[in-house]
Amino acid sequence: MSPSPVVEVVDLVKRYAGRTAVDGLSFRVEAGQVTAVLGPNGAGKTTTLETCEGYRRPDSGKVRVLGRDPQRDARELRARVGVMLQAGGVYPSVNAVEMLRHVASLYAHPLEVAGLVERLGLGATGRTPYRRLSGGQQQRLSLAMAVVGRPELVFLDEPTAGLDPQARRATWDLVEEMRRDGVTVVLSTHHMDEAERLADHVVVVDHGRVVAAGSPAELTADGAGGAGDRLRFTARPGLDLASLAAAVPAASRVEEVSPGRYAVHGRVDAHLLADVTAWCAARDVMPEGLSVGHRTLEDVFLELTGTELRS
């Protein structure tokens, strides 16, 4: 760990009218990394990010961004930190490109606006006022506004929520490009594939607390709280697990992860595959989506919290 993280959150607590949204949450963001804060609805991701952005005051705990206090040093941080909020921050009647040009003009070394507009597929929006843009276009514009000033650090709150696959990919490309340029990125997401693909460091949050943190490889590695190899399939719910367990080697463990989703943990080889498919065939069960491999972030999350991430 570096001695001075770009973002440092220590024992953060935030309550709303007696309800605890963030409950003693701690994490560090290292320079030049993409950090994903991953968790289900209501886990406290937005509250945490907004506290780092200086929009909310912690009830207790410490938050430092680039070594500064996000509220006390807001003016200094504004020039160095890009923020993409979940909604808005734009005058409704101004057109998208005008708005972006204006924001770019506030910075000493902005990105080239025309290129950014093209990259994010906003070229066709021409003179359309902000309020008439589609939800996805508005979202891409707020992403553009967050990055146009070439910040050292950007906070992106669910940058791909509700985007079509193409816009999602363009957003991912932009995040990867920022990372190559040495920008530190903190993003929140519900999507495990997004975290797995983009993040150097993942902070898994549930009920306002960090339940696991590490690189995607560390989090999904063998022995990090569960077996490494597994075979997965889906079929009708309620298969006889005891009978399936008897059909596979004793060292394997059989589980119905959630209704109709099955996993066999342990050494996965061609023999195990044959055992499982033979067992299914004998019962006229079609194992749909059969796959073998290491556990995914989704498996890790289910093991840790028993909660499925919802997108």
- Where do contacts with ligand ATP occur on this chain (CB under 6 A)? 16-17, 19, 21, 39, 41-47, 190
Task: Provide the minimum distance between the beta carbon of 39 and ligand ATP in the complex, in angstroms, as a whole number.
Answer: 5
Task: Provide the minimum distance between the beta carbon of 151 and ligand ATP in the complex, in angstroms, as a whole number.
Answer: 21
Task: Provide the minimum distance between the beta carbon of 59 and ligand ATP in the complex, in angstroms, as a whole number.
Answer: 12
**Strand ranges, E, within 96-163:** 153-157
Provide the 3-class DSSP secondary structure of residue 33.
coil
Q: Which helix (H) or strand (E) holds 290?
A: strand 288-294
Of residues 186 and 280, the one with the C-beta less far from ligand ATP: 186
Q: Which two tokens stand for residue 150?
A: 């070439």
Please tell me the distance from the alpha carbon of residue 131 to that of residue 20, in angstroms, as a whole number: 34
Task: Provide the minimum distance between the beta carbon of 301 and ligand ATP in the complex, in angstroms, as a whole number.
Answer: 13
Of residues 45 and 230, the one with the C-beta less far from ligand ATP: 45
Residue whose structure tokens are 């009647």: 93
Of residues 19 and 127, the one with the C-beta less far from ligand ATP: 19
Please tell me the distance from the alpha carbon of residue 27 to that of residue 12, in angstroms, as a whole number: 10
Of residues 279 and 301, the one with the C-beta less far from ligand ATP: 301
Task: Provide the minimum distance between the beta carbon of 53 and ligand ATP in the complex, in angstroms, as a whole number.
Answer: 12
Closest CA to 272 of 232, 300, 303: 232
Of residues 70 and 287, the one with the C-beta less far from ligand ATP: 70
Instruction: Calculate the CA dihedral of residues 35, 226, 300, 275 and round it to 10 degrees.
Output: 130
Contact yes or no for 49/21 (Cβ under 8 A): no
CA dihedral (206, 210, 211, 212) positive or negative = positive
Task: Provide the minimum distance between the beta carbon of 211 and ligand ATP in the complex, in angstroms, as a whole number.
Answer: 13
Residue 174 identity = L
Of residues 46 and 252, the one with the C-beta less far from ligand ATP: 46
Of residues 23 and 200, the one with the C-beta less far from ligand ATP: 23
Residue 87 — φ and ψ, nearest 5°? Answer: -145, 135
Task: Provide the minimum distance between the beta carbon of 154 and ligand ATP in the complex, in angstroms, as a whole number.
Answer: 17
Contact yes or no for 11/56 (Cβ under 8 A): no
Closest CA to 309 of 170, 172, 176, 211: 211
